[in-house]
Structure 1
Amino acid sequence: MPPRHNAMNPRYLTLATAFRALFGRRAKKIPLDAGGSCPNRDGTLSRGGCLFCNAAGSGTGLYHTGFGLRAQWDRLTPPARRRGEALVAYLQSFSTTHGPAARLAALRAERAALPEVAGIRLGTRPDCLDAEKIALFAAAPVAHKQLELGLQSADDATLRRIRRGHDAAGFARATRLAAGAGIGVTAHLMAGLPGEDTAGFLASVGFINALPVTGVKFHNTLVVAGSSLAALHEAGGYAPMGRETYVAAVAEAIARLRPDIVVERINADPAPGELLAPAWAADKRGLLADIAARLDALDIRPGCRFRP
């Protein structure tokens, strides 16, 4: 009988395990609002945003209220410091590298003043990166430098449908550029996107397998208040993926994933009050248990069905 999935015996390579191997101790990601914008929101590409996104994005808005990186850091890090954890600054809020390189350089100077930073992560889009910005990030004197890049799907038709504004080839170029500078890349993939089935989602897993991606975050597509997808859903033009279908899709994705890729997330977390559908997405504990049970039942390990 295969061993059961639990915190001490995960059936995939977790970020906690990867951090412990890197730092020799537990690590904590500290989310920091860096005041970023998005080419899909500020008019560079559009103002409507991606189909699934609302105007709040992933940030808190603190940066533009005068609550800078140091103030946020001092407020959020004490619990992790008391536990003796390594501190990883995770700069979020839409696309952190959007805009001129001078803005990123100014952020770098502000970030350099943060004490005890062991690693840095930047959340962004592949079309908001170039050689100059990559070089600025690569120069950071920390052990862990990671870009979190939203791909969502490797199917260009799907990317057009959800109004991403970039193609899969752009993601590949950005990933190779980052890897060449010694920077890791975490790919974000979504299951249940409009017009895309499980086969399409799994094709995206195959796409990142062929790139120097070091981590992946799997997300179930959420219908959130204020998004264009919410209007489409209300009009009957979109039905979210069912719970059982998502569980099966993620389990199969892990089976096909290149075994060295860190599985950093296996479900999406809606912000309080924003989730409209599917209702099961609010049951994080139950969803994680269902995925673990399926991995156990099928004796799935990362890469057990990987084909180079």
Structure 2
Amino acid sequence: MTEQLYPWGHTRRYNDFPTYFRGKFSERVQKVSVDAGFTCPNRDGTKALNGCSYCNNQTFQPDYCRLEKSISEQLQQGIDFYSKKYQSMKFLAYFQAYSNTYADLAVLKARYEEALNHPRIVGLVLGTRPDCVNAEILDYLAELSKSCYVMVEYGVESVQNKTLKRINRGHQFAEAKWAIEETARRGIHTCAHLILGLPGETRQDLLNQARTISKLPVENLKLHQLQIHKGTRLAVEFKRQPDDFHLFTAEEYLDLVVDYLELLNPAIIVERFVSQAPPGLLIAPKWGLKNFEFVAKLEKRLAERNTWQGRLFG
């Protein structure tokens, strides 16, 4: 029996990032993280001092990302690591830590262009907040994107203003909507990051989130389960009032993601479903699942339910 081809042109039951990425570039391309020394309006006193309640940047920052090293040195160390396996690989500089559009344009240009000067860097991925871009920055990125790949990855986290306030996010959903629309309008690649399971949000809230995000010109989507990390305000709140939190079991989260995918615009490329924090920093939930293991379970569950991304979209 011939396998079904889905709207994204292949037989996987969701519009997966690896397949898209391989088709986007003529050669193997890998992201390399870099810490360029940016801060965040939620940490420097502009909006707050303590950051978002869930945030601990140590949970995703590779060992080679250290501020005592220049951007070029960090990139070279990351490139050397990946090149051991693939000599011909090209790379995207992933400005990941904190808010990587939060500076004067002259500073941004200097740091981005230092990265792009490396002969094996073919583009930029910029992690940032929706309230840390403006028309001037986006116009510059649009011009830059004519000669290299540029993706702006926005921490949206939730589409509900009450949740954004609860986690001390410091902006409302309207700012995320504006940033995504203005970025996409300029032809710059977009990615939205969302956390499933934030305090106070119900299962129905999360399914409605899929419908809301599907209306925006989001190209890539990163999802992950709520995790409680050491050294965060959320960890203090969890210890004081654990009943305020519903931390999904792996099976609960698996079924939620299937339901979420059914509602999701099939044009959106799903880059990630779960997050893995270093064991020493993770308080809960402790699933013991690696990303690829979760994806294997997800694909099996989609097949069992004979469903796919976007089946209920529209």
TM-score by length of 2: 0.89
The answer for the alignment partner of 1:291 in structure 2 is 298
Contact 1:154 1:203 in 2 (8 A): no
The answer for the alignment partner of 1:304 in structure 2 is 311
Contact 1:175 1:185 in 2 (8 A): yes
C-alpha distance in structure 1 between counterparts of 2:65 and 2:286, whole Å: 32
The answer for the alignment partner of 2:283 in structure 1 is 276
Match for residue 102 of structure 1 among 103, 106, 111: 106
Cα RMSD of the aligned pairs, angstroms, is 2.3
Aligned length: 304
Match for residue 262 of structure 1 among 266, 269, 274: 269
The answer for the alignment partner of 1:242 in structure 2 is 249
**Secondary structure in 2 matching 1:175:** helix
Question: Which stretch shifts more, 21-30 or 75-84?
Answer: 75-84
C-alpha distance in structure 2 between counterparts of 1:42 and 1:288, whole Å: 37
**Secondary structure in 2 matching 1:139:** helix
Residue 122 (1) aligns with residue 126 (2): yes
Match for residue 211 of structure 1 among 181, 205, 216: 216
In the TM superposition, what is the alpha-carbon distance from 1:241 to its structure 2 partner?
A: 2.2
C-alpha distance in structure 1 between counterparts of 2:280 and 2:199, whole Å: 23
C-alpha distance in structure 1 between counterparts of 2:166 and 2:139, whole Å: 33
**Secondary structure in 1 matching 2:221:** strand
Match for residue 164 of structure 1 among 158, 161, 169: 169
Question: Which stretch shifts more, 152-161 or 69-78?
Answer: 69-78
CA 1:231 to 1:281, structure 2 compared with 1: closer, same or farther past 3 Å?
farther
Match for residue 43 of structure 1 among 36, 42, 45: 45
C-alpha distance in structure 2 between counterparts of 1:256 and 1:190, whole Å: 17
The answer for the alignment partner of 2:154 in structure 1 is 149
In the TM superposition, what is the alpha-carbon distance from 1:87 to its structure 2 partner?
A: 1.5
C-alpha distance in structure 1 between counterparts of 2:92 and 2:113, whole Å: 16
**Secondary structure in 2 matching 1:189:** strand
Match for residue 224 of structure 1 among 219, 229, 232: 229
CA 1:215 to 1:284, structure 2 compared with 1: closer, same or farther past 3 Å?
closer
The answer for the alignment partner of 2:141 in structure 1 is 137
Q: Which amino acid aligns with 1:41?
A: R
CA 1:3 to 1:294, structure 2 compared with 1: closer, same or farther past 3 Å?
farther
**Secondary structure in 1 matching 2:72:** helix
Q: Which amino acid aligns with 1:66?
A: E
C-alpha distance in structure 1 between counterparts of 2:291 and 2:217, whole Å: 30
Residue 194 (1) aligns with residue 199 (2): yes
Question: Which stretch shifts more, 50-59 or 195-204?
Answer: 50-59
Contact 2:180 2:218 in 1 (8 A): yes
The answer for the alignment partner of 1:184 in structure 2 is 189
Contact 1:149 1:188 in 2 (8 A): yes
TM-score by length of 1: 0.90
Q: Which amino acid aligns with 2:194?
A: L
Per-residue displacement from partner, 1:237-258 (whole Å, max 9, x unpaired)?
4241222221111111111111
Per-residue displacement from partner, 1:15-46 (whole Å, max 9, x unpaired)?
22112211123321111112221111111111
Match for residue 30 of structure 2 among 21, 28, 31: 28
User: Could you tell me the percent identity over the aligned residues?
Assistant: 32
Contact 1:60 1:93 in 2 (8 A): no
Q: Which amino acid aligns with 1:214?
A: E
**Secondary structure in 2 matching 1:190:** strand
C-alpha distance in structure 2 between counterparts of 1:184 and 1:277, whole Å: 33
Contact 2:159 2:209 in 1 (8 A): yes
Q: Which amino acid aligns with 1:16?
A: P
In the TM superposition, what is the alpha-carbon distance from 1:306 to its structure 2 partner?
A: 0.6
**Secondary structure in 1 matching 2:123:** strand
C-alpha distance in structure 2 between counterparts of 1:20 and 1:131, whole Å: 31
